[in-house]
Structure 1
Amino acid sequence: MGIFHSLSLYSVAFFIVVIAFIVRGTIGFGSGLIAVASLILLMPVKLAVPLVFLLDLTAALVLGSYDAKQVVWRDVLWVLPFASVGVFIGGFILKKASPGSVTFILGLFILVYVLYALWVKLDKLPKIRTLWAIPLGLLGGLAGSLYGGGGPPLVAYLQLRKLDKRQFRATMQLVAGMNNVLRGILYVALGLLTLPIGLGYLALLPAMLLGLWIGNKVHLRINAKLFQEVVLVVLTLVGLKLMIPV
Protein backbone atom coordinates (compact mmCIF):
# COMPACT_ATOMS: atom_id res chain seq x y z
CA MET A 1 0.00 0.00 0.00
CA GLY A 2 2.91 2.37 -0.52
CA ILE A 3 3.29 4.56 2.56
CA PHE A 4 1.10 2.38 4.80
CA HIS A 5 3.18 -0.16 6.71
CA SER A 6 0.34 -1.89 8.55
CA LEU A 7 -3.33 -2.66 8.16
CA SER A 8 -4.15 -0.66 11.28
CA LEU A 9 -2.42 2.46 9.91
CA TYR A 10 -4.26 2.08 6.61
CA SER A 11 -7.58 1.61 8.41
CA VAL A 12 -7.16 4.82 10.40
CA ALA A 13 -6.12 6.74 7.27
CA PHE A 14 -9.12 5.31 5.39
CA PHE A 15 -11.48 6.52 8.14
CA ILE A 16 -9.87 9.99 8.19
CA VAL A 17 -10.23 10.38 4.42
CA VAL A 18 -13.88 9.26 4.47
CA ILE A 19 -14.69 11.87 7.15
CA ALA A 20 -12.75 14.61 5.35
CA PHE A 21 -14.53 14.04 2.07
CA ILE A 22 -17.93 13.74 3.71
CA VAL A 23 -17.28 17.35 4.69
CA ARG A 24 -16.15 18.20 1.14
CA GLY A 25 -19.25 16.59 -0.34
CA THR A 26 -21.51 18.39 2.14
CA ILE A 27 -20.19 21.97 2.14
CA GLY A 28 -17.89 22.05 -0.92
CA PHE A 29 -14.53 22.55 0.83
CA GLY A 30 -12.59 21.61 3.97
CA SER A 31 -11.24 18.20 2.98
CA GLY A 32 -7.66 19.43 2.70
CA LEU A 33 -7.56 20.99 6.15
CA ILE A 34 -9.22 18.07 7.88
CA ALA A 35 -7.34 15.29 6.06
CA VAL A 36 -3.88 16.87 6.34
CA ALA A 37 -4.39 17.98 9.94
CA SER A 38 -5.35 14.42 10.89
CA LEU A 39 -2.99 12.41 8.67
CA ILE A 40 -0.06 14.49 9.90
CA LEU A 41 -0.52 12.73 13.25
CA LEU A 42 0.22 9.44 11.46
CA MET A 43 2.90 10.40 8.95
CA PRO A 44 5.33 13.24 8.08
CA VAL A 45 3.74 16.40 6.66
CA LYS A 46 5.80 16.01 3.46
CA LEU A 47 3.95 12.75 2.82
CA ALA A 48 0.51 13.85 3.99
CA VAL A 49 0.29 17.03 1.90
CA PRO A 50 1.08 15.48 -1.53
CA LEU A 51 -1.16 12.50 -0.72
CA VAL A 52 -4.13 14.71 0.11
CA PHE A 53 -3.34 16.87 -2.91
CA LEU A 54 -3.96 13.90 -5.22
CA LEU A 55 -7.24 13.10 -3.48
CA ASP A 56 -8.35 16.76 -3.55
CA LEU A 57 -7.56 17.07 -7.24
CA THR A 58 -9.75 14.06 -8.00
CA ALA A 59 -12.55 15.39 -5.78
CA ALA A 60 -12.46 18.80 -7.50
CA LEU A 61 -12.87 17.09 -10.87
CA VAL A 62 -15.77 14.97 -9.60
CA LEU A 63 -17.64 17.83 -7.90
CA GLY A 64 -16.81 20.40 -10.57
CA SER A 65 -18.50 18.33 -13.26
CA TYR A 66 -21.89 18.82 -11.58
CA ASP A 67 -22.19 22.62 -11.86
CA ALA A 68 -19.76 23.54 -14.64
CA LYS A 69 -22.21 25.99 -16.25
CA GLN A 70 -22.50 27.96 -13.01
CA VAL A 71 -18.84 29.07 -12.92
CA VAL A 72 -18.40 32.85 -12.47
CA TRP A 73 -15.49 33.41 -14.82
CA ARG A 74 -14.85 37.01 -13.76
CA ASP A 75 -13.88 35.87 -10.28
CA VAL A 76 -11.90 32.91 -11.61
CA LEU A 77 -9.82 35.17 -13.86
CA TRP A 78 -9.10 37.53 -10.97
CA VAL A 79 -8.25 35.06 -8.21
CA LEU A 80 -6.47 32.30 -10.14
CA PRO A 81 -3.26 34.20 -11.15
CA PHE A 82 -2.58 35.33 -7.58
CA ALA A 83 -3.44 31.93 -6.14
CA SER A 84 -0.98 30.41 -8.62
CA VAL A 85 1.83 32.65 -7.35
CA GLY A 86 0.98 31.56 -3.81
CA VAL A 87 1.09 27.90 -4.88
CA PHE A 88 4.68 28.22 -6.11
CA ILE A 89 5.85 30.13 -3.03
CA GLY A 90 4.24 27.57 -0.72
CA GLY A 91 5.72 24.64 -2.63
CA PHE A 92 9.27 25.88 -2.16
CA ILE A 93 8.61 26.60 1.53
CA LEU A 94 7.29 23.04 1.96
CA LYS A 95 10.43 21.66 0.33
CA LYS A 96 12.79 23.60 2.63
CA ALA A 97 10.91 23.93 5.94
CA SER A 98 11.40 21.60 8.88
CA PRO A 99 8.43 19.33 9.69
CA GLY A 100 8.14 20.78 13.19
CA SER A 101 7.76 24.37 12.07
CA VAL A 102 5.29 23.47 9.33
CA THR A 103 3.22 21.47 11.81
CA PHE A 104 3.04 24.37 14.28
CA ILE A 105 2.06 26.84 11.57
CA LEU A 106 -0.60 24.42 10.34
CA GLY A 107 -2.14 24.33 13.82
CA LEU A 108 -2.10 28.13 14.02
CA PHE A 109 -3.60 28.42 10.56
CA ILE A 110 -6.48 26.11 11.53
CA LEU A 111 -7.24 28.06 14.71
CA VAL A 112 -7.26 31.36 12.83
CA TYR A 113 -9.70 29.86 10.37
CA VAL A 114 -11.93 28.63 13.21
CA LEU A 115 -12.01 32.09 14.80
CA TYR A 116 -12.85 33.61 11.42
CA ALA A 117 -15.70 31.16 10.88
CA LEU A 118 -17.09 31.70 14.39
CA TRP A 119 -17.03 35.48 14.60
CA VAL A 120 -17.41 36.92 11.09
CA LYS A 121 -21.05 37.53 10.13
CA LEU A 122 -20.84 37.28 6.36
CA ASP A 123 -24.43 38.37 5.73
CA LYS A 124 -23.70 41.77 7.34
CA LEU A 125 -20.62 42.56 5.27
CA PRO A 126 -20.75 44.47 1.97
CA LYS A 127 -19.84 42.89 -1.34
CA ILE A 128 -16.07 43.23 -1.81
CA ARG A 129 -14.28 44.38 -4.96
CA THR A 130 -12.35 42.01 -7.18
CA LEU A 131 -9.08 43.61 -5.99
CA TRP A 132 -9.45 41.53 -2.83
CA ALA A 133 -8.49 38.57 -5.03
CA ILE A 134 -4.86 39.71 -4.71
CA PRO A 135 -4.27 39.10 -0.96
CA LEU A 136 -6.84 36.33 -0.53
CA GLY A 137 -5.74 34.53 -3.69
CA LEU A 138 -2.08 34.68 -2.65
CA LEU A 139 -2.90 33.39 0.84
CA GLY A 140 -5.12 30.65 -0.54
CA GLY A 141 -2.45 29.39 -2.91
CA LEU A 142 0.25 29.59 -0.25
CA ALA A 143 -1.82 27.68 2.31
CA GLY A 144 -2.82 25.13 -0.31
CA SER A 145 0.77 24.26 -1.11
CA LEU A 146 1.85 24.16 2.52
CA TYR A 147 -1.07 22.34 4.07
CA GLY A 148 -3.40 21.13 1.33
CA GLY A 149 -5.90 23.52 2.92
CA GLY A 150 -6.09 26.66 0.79
CA GLY A 151 -9.87 26.66 1.01
CA PRO A 152 -10.58 29.25 3.75
CA PRO A 153 -9.04 32.34 2.05
CA LEU A 154 -10.63 31.41 -1.28
CA VAL A 155 -13.92 30.65 0.44
CA ALA A 156 -13.78 34.09 2.09
CA TYR A 157 -13.25 35.79 -1.27
CA LEU A 158 -16.07 33.96 -3.06
CA GLN A 159 -18.49 34.34 -0.14
CA LEU A 160 -17.84 38.08 0.08
CA ARG A 161 -18.39 38.36 -3.65
CA LYS A 162 -21.96 37.28 -2.81
CA LEU A 163 -22.16 34.29 -5.16
CA ASP A 164 -25.19 32.07 -4.81
CA LYS A 165 -24.81 28.48 -3.61
CA ARG A 166 -24.38 26.85 -7.02
CA GLN A 167 -22.09 29.60 -8.35
CA PHE A 168 -19.97 29.38 -5.21
CA ARG A 169 -19.53 25.61 -5.38
CA ALA A 170 -18.80 25.57 -9.13
CA THR A 171 -16.32 28.46 -9.02
CA MET A 172 -14.59 27.09 -5.92
CA GLN A 173 -14.09 23.68 -7.51
CA LEU A 174 -12.67 25.17 -10.72
CA VAL A 175 -10.18 27.38 -8.89
CA ALA A 176 -9.21 24.52 -6.57
CA GLY A 177 -8.82 22.09 -9.48
CA MET A 178 -6.63 24.43 -11.56
CA ASN A 179 -4.51 25.26 -8.52
CA ASN A 180 -4.08 21.56 -7.86
CA VAL A 181 -2.81 20.99 -11.39
CA LEU A 182 -0.15 23.66 -10.79
CA ARG A 183 0.68 22.14 -7.42
CA GLY A 184 1.10 18.76 -9.08
CA ILE A 185 3.59 20.12 -11.61
CA LEU A 186 5.51 21.86 -8.83
CA TYR A 187 5.48 18.83 -6.54
CA VAL A 188 6.86 16.62 -9.32
CA ALA A 189 9.61 19.16 -10.07
CA LEU A 190 10.54 19.35 -6.38
CA GLY A 191 10.48 15.59 -5.93
CA LEU A 192 7.55 15.69 -3.49
CA LEU A 193 5.42 13.24 -5.49
CA THR A 194 6.83 9.74 -5.37
CA LEU A 195 5.70 6.23 -6.28
CA PRO A 196 4.85 5.29 -2.65
CA ILE A 197 2.62 8.39 -2.40
CA GLY A 198 0.96 7.40 -5.67
CA LEU A 199 0.27 3.93 -4.32
CA GLY A 200 -1.10 5.46 -1.12
CA TYR A 201 -3.43 7.62 -3.23
CA LEU A 202 -4.76 4.56 -5.07
CA ALA A 203 -5.30 2.80 -1.75
CA LEU A 204 -7.30 5.74 -0.38
CA LEU A 205 -9.23 6.57 -3.56
CA PRO A 206 -12.20 4.37 -2.52
CA ALA A 207 -12.33 6.24 0.81
CA MET A 208 -12.46 9.58 -0.99
CA LEU A 209 -15.25 8.46 -3.34
CA LEU A 210 -17.21 6.96 -0.44
CA GLY A 211 -16.87 10.21 1.51
CA LEU A 212 -18.12 12.31 -1.42
CA TRP A 213 -21.09 9.99 -1.92
CA ILE A 214 -22.08 10.12 1.75
CA GLY A 215 -21.51 13.88 1.82
CA ASN A 216 -23.98 14.43 -1.01
CA LYS A 217 -26.54 12.35 0.89
CA VAL A 218 -25.88 14.20 4.16
CA HIS A 219 -26.23 17.55 2.38
CA LEU A 220 -29.89 16.80 1.73
CA ARG A 221 -30.70 15.64 5.27
CA ILE A 222 -28.70 17.57 7.89
CA ASN A 223 -28.78 21.18 9.03
CA ALA A 224 -25.73 22.71 7.33
CA LYS A 225 -25.08 25.18 10.17
CA LEU A 226 -25.00 22.43 12.79
CA PHE A 227 -22.71 20.31 10.63
CA GLN A 228 -20.23 23.17 10.15
CA GLU A 229 -20.20 23.80 13.91
CA VAL A 230 -19.24 20.15 14.51
CA VAL A 231 -16.46 20.48 11.92
CA LEU A 232 -15.15 23.60 13.69
CA VAL A 233 -15.02 21.76 17.02
CA VAL A 234 -12.97 18.96 15.43
CA LEU A 235 -10.64 21.44 13.73
CA THR A 236 -10.12 23.30 17.01
CA LEU A 237 -9.06 20.11 18.79
CA VAL A 238 -6.71 19.11 15.96
CA GLY A 239 -5.23 22.61 15.73
CA LEU A 240 -4.50 22.73 19.45
CA LYS A 241 -2.95 19.25 19.30
CA LEU A 242 -0.61 20.30 16.49
CA MET A 243 0.54 23.40 18.36
CA ILE A 244 1.39 21.57 21.59
CA PRO A 245 5.05 20.41 21.57
CA VAL A 246 5.42 16.63 21.85
Structure 2
Amino acid sequence: MVIDLPFPWVTLLSATLIIALAYTIYGLTGFGSSITAVPLLTHFLPLRSVVPMMLIFDLGAGIVLGLRNRSAVARDELLRIIPFMVAGMLVGVTLLVRAPQRPLLVTLGCFILAYAAWNLAFRAPQRSISVAWAAPLALLGGLFTALFGTGGPIYVAYLARRLPDVRALRATISTLIFFSGLARLVLFTSVGLYKQPHVLQLALALLPVVMGGLYLGSHLSRKLPAHRIVQAVWGILIAGGTSLIWHNL
Protein backbone atom coordinates (compact mmCIF):
# COMPACT_ATOMS: atom_id res chain seq x y z
CA MET A 1 0.00 0.00 0.00
CA VAL A 2 1.38 3.40 -1.00
CA ILE A 3 0.58 6.33 1.33
CA ASP A 4 0.53 9.67 -0.47
CA LEU A 5 1.61 12.42 1.95
CA PRO A 6 1.58 16.11 0.94
CA PHE A 7 4.77 17.05 2.79
CA PRO A 8 8.11 18.22 1.37
CA TRP A 9 10.71 15.46 1.21
CA VAL A 10 12.85 17.36 3.73
CA THR A 11 9.99 17.21 6.25
CA LEU A 12 9.41 13.49 5.69
CA LEU A 13 13.11 12.65 5.88
CA SER A 14 13.59 14.75 9.02
CA ALA A 15 10.53 13.20 10.71
CA THR A 16 11.79 9.71 9.84
CA LEU A 17 15.24 10.37 11.34
CA ILE A 18 13.80 12.01 14.46
CA ILE A 19 11.36 9.14 15.11
CA ALA A 20 14.12 6.57 14.52
CA LEU A 21 16.35 8.38 17.04
CA ALA A 22 13.57 8.80 19.63
CA TYR A 23 12.51 5.15 19.64
CA THR A 24 16.07 3.88 19.55
CA ILE A 25 16.53 5.86 22.78
CA TYR A 26 13.25 4.37 24.09
CA GLY A 27 14.53 0.89 23.31
CA LEU A 28 17.86 1.67 24.99
CA THR A 29 16.56 3.30 28.15
CA GLY A 30 12.82 2.60 28.47
CA PHE A 31 11.96 6.32 28.36
CA GLY A 32 12.54 9.49 26.40
CA SER A 33 10.60 9.02 23.15
CA SER A 34 8.26 12.02 23.35
CA ILE A 35 10.60 14.33 25.23
CA THR A 36 13.22 13.69 22.52
CA ALA A 37 10.98 13.74 19.44
CA VAL A 38 8.41 16.48 20.16
CA PRO A 39 10.81 19.48 20.37
CA LEU A 40 12.59 18.34 17.19
CA LEU A 41 9.46 17.49 15.21
CA THR A 42 7.86 20.87 15.93
CA HIS A 43 10.52 22.50 13.74
CA PHE A 44 8.82 20.76 10.79
CA LEU A 45 5.22 20.02 11.83
CA PRO A 46 2.57 21.82 13.95
CA LEU A 47 2.50 20.95 17.66
CA ARG A 48 -1.19 20.02 17.39
CA SER A 49 -0.26 17.37 14.81
CA VAL A 50 2.90 16.12 16.52
CA VAL A 51 1.36 15.38 19.94
CA PRO A 52 -1.51 13.11 18.74
CA MET A 53 0.85 11.37 16.31
CA MET A 54 3.36 10.62 19.08
CA LEU A 55 0.53 9.22 21.20
CA ILE A 56 -0.16 6.58 18.54
CA PHE A 57 3.51 5.61 18.53
CA ASP A 58 3.71 5.41 22.33
CA LEU A 59 0.61 3.23 22.55
CA GLY A 60 2.02 0.96 19.84
CA ALA A 61 5.34 0.72 21.66
CA GLY A 62 3.55 -0.01 24.93
CA ILE A 63 1.57 -2.86 23.35
CA VAL A 64 4.69 -4.33 21.72
CA LEU A 65 6.79 -4.18 24.89
CA GLY A 66 3.89 -5.17 27.13
CA LEU A 67 3.04 -4.20 30.69
CA ARG A 68 5.55 -6.28 32.61
CA ASN A 69 5.46 -7.17 36.31
CA ARG A 70 1.83 -6.14 36.63
CA SER A 71 1.55 -7.99 39.94
CA ALA A 72 4.05 -5.52 41.43
CA VAL A 73 1.98 -2.40 40.62
CA ALA A 74 1.44 -0.10 43.62
CA ARG A 75 -2.31 0.34 43.23
CA ASP A 76 -2.62 2.73 46.17
CA GLU A 77 -0.24 5.17 44.44
CA LEU A 78 -2.17 4.88 41.17
CA LEU A 79 -5.41 5.69 42.97
CA ARG A 80 -3.81 8.85 44.39
CA ILE A 81 -2.38 9.99 41.06
CA ILE A 82 -4.96 9.14 38.40
CA PRO A 83 -7.84 11.51 39.40
CA PHE A 84 -5.53 14.53 39.53
CA MET A 85 -3.69 13.43 36.40
CA VAL A 86 -6.97 13.32 34.46
CA ALA A 87 -7.88 16.80 35.76
CA GLY A 88 -4.52 18.11 34.55
CA MET A 89 -5.08 16.45 31.16
CA LEU A 90 -8.39 18.27 30.74
CA VAL A 91 -6.64 21.61 31.25
CA GLY A 92 -3.78 20.55 28.97
CA VAL A 93 -6.03 19.50 26.10
CA THR A 94 -7.91 22.80 26.35
CA LEU A 95 -4.63 24.72 26.08
CA LEU A 96 -3.37 22.51 23.24
CA VAL A 97 -6.48 23.24 21.18
CA ARG A 98 -6.95 26.93 22.03
CA ALA A 99 -3.63 28.49 23.05
CA PRO A 100 -1.20 30.05 20.52
CA GLN A 101 1.54 27.61 19.51
CA ARG A 102 4.58 29.84 20.05
CA PRO A 103 4.19 30.32 23.86
CA LEU A 104 3.50 26.60 24.21
CA LEU A 105 6.73 25.72 22.42
CA VAL A 106 8.76 28.13 24.55
CA THR A 107 7.20 26.51 27.65
CA LEU A 108 8.17 23.08 26.35
CA GLY A 109 11.75 24.23 25.70
CA CYS A 110 12.05 25.64 29.23
CA PHE A 111 10.61 22.43 30.71
CA ILE A 112 13.10 20.26 28.82
CA LEU A 113 16.08 22.40 29.87
CA ALA A 114 14.93 22.41 33.50
CA TYR A 115 14.46 18.63 33.44
CA ALA A 116 17.89 18.01 31.94
CA ALA A 117 19.58 20.46 34.33
CA TRP A 118 17.89 18.86 37.35
CA ASN A 119 19.08 15.39 36.38
CA LEU A 120 22.62 16.57 35.67
CA ALA A 121 22.95 18.68 38.82
CA PHE A 122 21.28 16.59 41.53
CA ARG A 123 22.80 13.19 42.13
CA ALA A 124 22.33 12.94 45.90
CA PRO A 125 20.30 10.01 47.28
CA GLN A 126 16.61 10.81 47.11
CA ARG A 127 14.55 10.82 50.31
CA SER A 128 10.98 9.66 50.61
CA ILE A 129 8.32 12.36 50.20
CA SER A 130 4.81 12.75 51.56
CA VAL A 131 1.68 11.56 49.74
CA ALA A 132 0.60 15.22 49.85
CA TRP A 133 2.82 15.74 46.78
CA ALA A 134 0.69 13.34 44.74
CA ALA A 135 -2.02 15.90 43.91
CA PRO A 136 0.12 18.85 42.67
CA LEU A 137 2.62 16.67 40.80
CA ALA A 138 -0.13 14.58 39.19
CA LEU A 139 -1.92 17.76 38.08
CA LEU A 140 1.32 19.11 36.59
CA GLY A 141 2.13 15.75 35.01
CA GLY A 142 -1.32 15.51 33.46
CA LEU A 143 -0.99 19.04 32.09
CA PHE A 144 2.36 18.34 30.40
CA THR A 145 1.22 14.89 29.27
CA ALA A 146 -1.74 16.33 27.37
CA LEU A 147 0.16 19.35 26.04
CA PHE A 148 3.39 17.70 24.93
CA GLY A 149 3.34 14.00 25.90
CA THR A 150 6.19 14.75 28.34
CA GLY A 151 4.57 14.23 31.75
CA GLY A 152 6.42 10.98 32.41
CA PRO A 153 9.44 12.59 34.19
CA ILE A 154 7.08 14.31 36.64
CA TYR A 155 5.38 11.03 37.57
CA VAL A 156 8.80 9.41 37.94
CA ALA A 157 9.98 12.25 40.23
CA TYR A 158 7.14 11.42 42.64
CA LEU A 159 7.05 7.63 42.39
CA ALA A 160 10.82 7.21 42.65
CA ARG A 161 10.62 8.78 46.13
CA ARG A 162 7.64 6.68 47.15
CA LEU A 163 8.60 3.22 45.88
CA PRO A 164 12.04 1.94 46.91
CA ASP A 165 11.43 -1.40 45.17
CA VAL A 166 12.71 -1.06 41.58
CA ARG A 167 10.33 -3.73 40.25
CA ALA A 168 7.32 -1.99 41.80
CA LEU A 169 8.53 1.39 40.50
CA ARG A 170 8.90 0.19 36.90
CA ALA A 171 5.59 -1.68 36.95
CA THR A 172 3.70 1.29 38.41
CA ILE A 173 5.23 3.80 36.00
CA SER A 174 4.56 1.64 32.93
CA THR A 175 0.95 1.05 34.00
CA LEU A 176 0.41 4.75 34.71
CA ILE A 177 1.89 5.86 31.37
CA PHE A 178 -0.14 3.29 29.44
CA PHE A 179 -3.34 4.40 31.21
CA SER A 180 -2.52 8.05 30.52
CA GLY A 181 -2.09 7.15 26.85
CA LEU A 182 -5.56 5.62 26.69
CA ALA A 183 -7.04 8.65 28.47
CA ARG A 184 -5.32 11.01 26.02
CA LEU A 185 -6.59 8.96 23.09
CA VAL A 186 -10.16 9.53 24.28
CA LEU A 187 -9.57 13.24 24.91
CA PHE A 188 -7.75 13.88 21.62
CA THR A 189 -10.44 12.05 19.66
CA SER A 190 -13.23 13.97 21.42
CA VAL A 191 -11.74 17.38 20.55
CA GLY A 192 -11.08 16.40 16.92
CA LEU A 193 -7.28 16.29 16.87
CA TYR A 194 -7.38 13.09 14.80
CA LYS A 195 -9.58 14.78 12.21
CA GLN A 196 -6.65 16.95 11.15
CA PRO A 197 -5.55 16.19 7.59
CA HIS A 198 -2.85 13.54 7.22
CA VAL A 199 -2.09 13.01 10.96
CA LEU A 200 -3.18 9.37 10.89
CA GLN A 201 -1.59 8.78 7.46
CA LEU A 202 1.76 10.13 8.61
CA ALA A 203 1.58 8.08 11.80
CA LEU A 204 0.85 4.94 9.78
CA ALA A 205 3.73 5.66 7.41
CA LEU A 206 6.19 6.15 10.29
CA LEU A 207 5.02 3.25 12.47
CA PRO A 208 7.54 0.80 10.92
CA VAL A 209 10.29 3.31 11.83
CA VAL A 210 9.08 3.20 15.44
CA MET A 211 9.29 -0.59 15.54
CA GLY A 212 12.71 -0.53 13.89
CA GLY A 213 13.97 1.97 16.45
CA LEU A 214 12.67 -0.15 19.32
CA TYR A 215 14.41 -3.23 17.93
CA LEU A 216 17.69 -1.37 17.36
CA GLY A 217 17.59 0.21 20.82
CA SER A 218 16.88 -3.11 22.54
CA HIS A 219 19.76 -4.69 20.62
CA LEU A 220 22.20 -1.87 21.41
CA SER A 221 21.25 -1.82 25.10
CA ARG A 222 23.13 -5.09 25.54
CA LYS A 223 26.31 -3.63 24.02
CA LEU A 224 26.55 0.03 25.05
CA PRO A 225 27.44 1.32 28.58
CA ALA A 226 24.36 2.72 30.31
CA HIS A 227 26.02 5.93 31.55
CA ARG A 228 27.11 6.85 28.02
CA ILE A 229 23.58 6.36 26.76
CA VAL A 230 22.15 8.61 29.47
CA GLN A 231 24.76 11.31 28.76
CA ALA A 232 23.81 11.24 25.07
CA VAL A 233 20.11 11.58 25.95
CA TRP A 234 20.78 14.65 28.13
CA GLY A 235 22.82 16.20 25.32
CA ILE A 236 19.98 15.68 22.83
CA LEU A 237 17.42 17.12 25.27
CA ILE A 238 19.51 20.23 25.95
CA ALA A 239 20.03 20.82 22.23
CA GLY A 240 16.34 20.29 21.48
CA GLY A 241 15.12 22.53 24.31
CA THR A 242 17.56 25.31 23.42
CA SER A 243 16.59 25.23 19.74
CA LEU A 244 12.89 25.45 20.63
CA ILE A 245 13.37 28.54 22.78
CA TRP A 246 15.69 30.20 20.25
CA HIS A 247 13.42 29.48 17.29
CA ASN A 248 10.22 30.69 19.00
CA LEU A 249 11.58 33.78 20.68
TM-score calculated relative to the size of structure 2: 0.91
Match of 1:82 among 81, 84, 87: 84
Matching residue of 2:28? 26
After superposition, residues 1-246 of structure 1 pair within 5 angstroms as: 1=3, 5-121=7-123, 124-194=125-195, 196-245=198-247
Question: 1:197, CA displacement in angstroms?
Answer: 1.0
2: distance between equivalents of 1:180 and 1:60?
9
2: distance between equivalents of 1:84 and 1:72?
18
Deviations 1:168-211 (Å, cap 9, x if unpaired)?
33221211111111111111121111262111111111111112
TM-score calculated relative to the size of structure 1: 0.92
2: distance between equivalents of 1:19 and 1:4?
23
Cα separation, partners in 2 of 1:61 and 1:82, compared to 1, 3 Å: farther
1: distance between equivalents of 2:48 and 2:194?
9
Question: 1:3, CA displacement in angstroms?
Answer: 5.6
Identity %: 31
Deviations 1:17-60 (Å, cap 9, x if unpaired)?
12111222222221111111111111111111111111112222
Structure 1 portions without partners, runs of 5+: none
Which segment is superposed worse, 129-138 or 58-67?
A: 58-67
1: distance between equivalents of 2:48 and 2:153?
21
2: distance between equivalents of 1:17 and 1:67?
27
Which segment is superposed worse, 67-76 or 183-192?
A: 67-76
Length, aligned pairs only: 245
State the one-letter code of the partner of 1:200: L
1: distance between equivalents of 2:5 and 2:107?
24
2: distance between equivalents of 1:230 and 1:118?
12
State whether residues 22 and 36 of structure 2, in contact with CA within 8 Å, keep that contact through their aligned partners in structure 1.
Answer: yes
Cα separation, partners in 2 of 1:130 and 1:211, compared to 1, 3 Å: farther
Structure 2 portions without partners, runs of 5+: none
CA RMSD of superposed structures (Å): 1.9
